[in-house]
Amino acid sequence: MKKTASESQIEGRIVNVSSEGHRFAYREGIRFDLINDSSSYNAVYAYGQSKLANILHANELATRMKDEGVEITANSLHPGTIATNLIRHHSFIEGMVNWVGKYFLKNIPQGAATTCYVALHPQVKGVSGKYFSDSNISNPSSLAKDVDLAKKLWDFSLNLTGNK
């Protein structure tokens, strides 16, 4: 991607899809010491942790691309609450969402709008390290803005993948 952006002189864009669910991560944000601990697992907090990680990754990547002087931006976003099959294993809740949700939830094209905006719109040229919602820059949680946590996650990920 770096080579393509350099040779084509066209800005590359990396878009991480996150969620407002990032606000419901574990208290410490990322549980580095308990990453695979099934005894303290909580589905809601684990989902929040994963979405927080998406934001932190985009932020750290944005910093690294800027430091390298590369014409690649990295941003994250909340696509909105979309009528999907995410809760398909919770039949009662799924039934309620299907019955009432059509009045309040975004459909698939509406849910894709912010992703397309961040990936393609000329107004986002040069914008990096931001969190978007409804095609606007939005304010993520304080944990999502923690530069030390983002770097720690980056280093932790490199270590897990053997890329020290």
* pTM for the model: 0.87
C-alpha distance across the termini of the chain, in Å: 21
pLDDT at 104: 64
pLDDT at 109: 73
Given the residues 41, 47, 103, 131, select the one marked as catalytic.
41
130 within some domain: yes
Report CA 12 to chain centroid distance, whole Å: 17
Token code pair at residue 143: 């944990």
Cα 63-6-113 angle, rounded to 5 deg: 65
Contact 61, 74 (CB under 8 A): yes
**What's the domain count of the chain?**
1
Sheet (strand 136-138) strand order:
12-17, 72-78, 131-133, 136-138
User: How many CB atoms are closer than 10 A to CB 102?
Assistant: 10
Domain that holds residue 103: 2-159
164 within some domain: no
60 within some domain: yes
pLDDT values of the chain reduced to their tens digit, one per residue, 164 residues: 999 999 999 999 999 999 999 999 999 999 999 998 999 999 999 999 999 999 999 999 999 999 999 999 999 999 977 655 555 444 555 555 555 555 567 677 777 889 999 999 999 999 999 999 999 999 999 999 999 999 999 999 999 998 87
10 within some domain: yes
Distance CA 119, CA 111 (A): 14
Asked about 47 being catalytic, the answer comes back as no
Q: What is the CATH number of the domain that holds 80?
A: 3.40.50.720
**How many CA atoms lie less than 13 Å away from 133 in the CB half-sphere?**
13
pLDDT at 52: 98
